[in-house]
Amino acid sequence: MRIVVDAFGGDNAPLEVLRGCAMAVSEYQDIEITLTGDEEKIRSCAAQNQIPLEKITVRHAPTVIPVEEEPSEIRRKYADCSMAVGLGLLASGEGDAFVSAGSTGALVMGASLFVKRIKGIKRAAIGTIMPTMQGLYLLLDGGANAECRPEMLLQFAIMGSAYMESVQGVKNPKVGLVNIGAEPNKGTDLQYEAYHLLQDAPINFTGNVEPRDIPAGVCDVVVADGFTGNVVLKLTEGVALSFAGEIKRMFYKNLKTKIAGLLMSSEVAAFKGKMDYAEHGGAPLMGIAKPVIKAHGSSNAKAFKNAIRQARDYAQNDVIHKIERSVAQIRQREKQSV
């Protein structure tokens, strides 16, 4: 299995990317890596930091698309960037999966353009892995499509369900639709119509999920338009950060609380571990015809290693064909009912 990795994506590139790749090839015997990016810089960074490049090849790409750049520039001004070259290798079959911590917009657009979408899929979505106290859930769309039609939400549900079943090994994953009430008639027209489509879909649809219940992990797959999904993702992070900061301040308040902090150190460490996105890898782009993982912009070496493992699991399992079959099945049924 060959994983293509964008060496120049994210805030800590290329050093943490290289470290993560070295960790991955040493830990997972079944993978080889192709790094894309400025070859000279990659080799000098590896040499300076004594990172072995065994089982890692480099494909030169002279530029990097900045996160603030218009995503569409990936096929014009930045057609030779590390991300575009990586997606090209994936498209041509020179790699089995692609990992990048670069611009999300450019990655979604580049993947849709160069690698193409799964047949019948209207729009690619970002599947964000969200940690909870009990485990994790997949939230999609995490923000690729601010405005959605009901059929898109149906496809997100099918794709998320396939991913959680095949890659995460969750049997018959519970799928919930983010809404402001449990009843089918709640929310806007989008939720109302999506609810009815989801009810008839070949998935384990458990109905509307109220945001109050999402963090408790009541669903394995949480479906929303990209605007709402992005709000859920960022607000979860914001409240968690605000709580974590306050708890830290509490423990540092005085001698008594500092002693309490020492007594609690292993519990606090375990708690941090649960909330650590780096443990879970990155966000699978769902709906692209080959596996693409968006790693977090602030990924460290461990996060890159886990994103590479996740890319391997995504490629090894039959997710994409499963999605293809489900979509074809729904289209067939629609045709028959017309």
CB proximity list for 82: less than 8 A, separation 6 or greater = 6, 7, 8, 9, 36, 37, 38, 61, 63, 64, 100, 102
- Is residue 135 near its own copies by the rule CB under 8 A? no
- Is residue 76 near its own copies by the rule CB under 8 A? no
- Identify the residue among 120, 150, 211, 297 touching its own copies (CB under 8 A): 211
Question: What's the CA gap between 273 and 21, in Å, rounded?
Answer: 22
Q: Which is nearer to its own copies, 201 or 247 (CB)?
A: 247
Binding part of the chain for its own copies, among 7-15, 29-37, 266-274, 292-300 by CB under 8 A, reads 266-274
R_g of the chain, CA atoms, integer Å: 21
Burial of 114 (0-12, 13-18, 19+ CB in 10 A): buried
Tokens standing for 129?
A: 């892995």
Closest contact distance (angstroms) between CB of 311 and its own copies is 26
- Site map (CB under 8 A) of its own copies, residues 319-338, x = contact: --------------------
DSSP readout, 11-65?
TTTTHHHHHHHHHHHHH-TT-EEEEEE-HHHHHHHHHHTT---TTEEEEE--B--
Alpha carbon separation from 303 to 99, 136, 257, 271 (Å, rounded): 11, 16, 32, 18
Q: Which is nearer to its own copies, 77 or 249 (CB)?
A: 249
- Is residue 298 near its own copies by the rule CB under 8 A? no
- In the chain, % helix, strand, coil (3-state, to 5) comes to 50, 15, 35
Task: Tell me which DSSP letter residue 117 carries.
Answer: B
- Identify the residue among 40, 245, 276, 318 touching its own copies (CB under 8 A): 245
- Identify the residue among 1, 113, 201, 231 touching its own copies (CB under 8 A): 231
Binding part of the chain for its own copies, among 29-37, 55-63, 194-202, 262-270 by CB under 8 A, reads 262-270
Closest contact distance (angstroms) between CB of 8 and its own copies is 23
Closest contact distance (angstroms) between CB of 43 and its own copies is 36
* Identity of the amino acid at 224: A
- Identify the residue among 147, 171, 335, 338 touching its own copies (CB under 8 A): 147
Sole residue written with tokens 């995460």: 168
- Is residue 261 near its own copies by the rule CB under 8 A? yes
Closest contact distance (angstroms) between CB of 267 and its own copies is 4
Beta bridge partners of 174: 204
Instruction: List residues binding its own copies (CB under 8 A).
Output: 132-133, 143, 146-147, 178, 180, 186-189, 210-216, 226-228, 230-232, 234-243, 245-247, 250-251, 253, 256-257, 259-261, 263-264, 267-268, 271
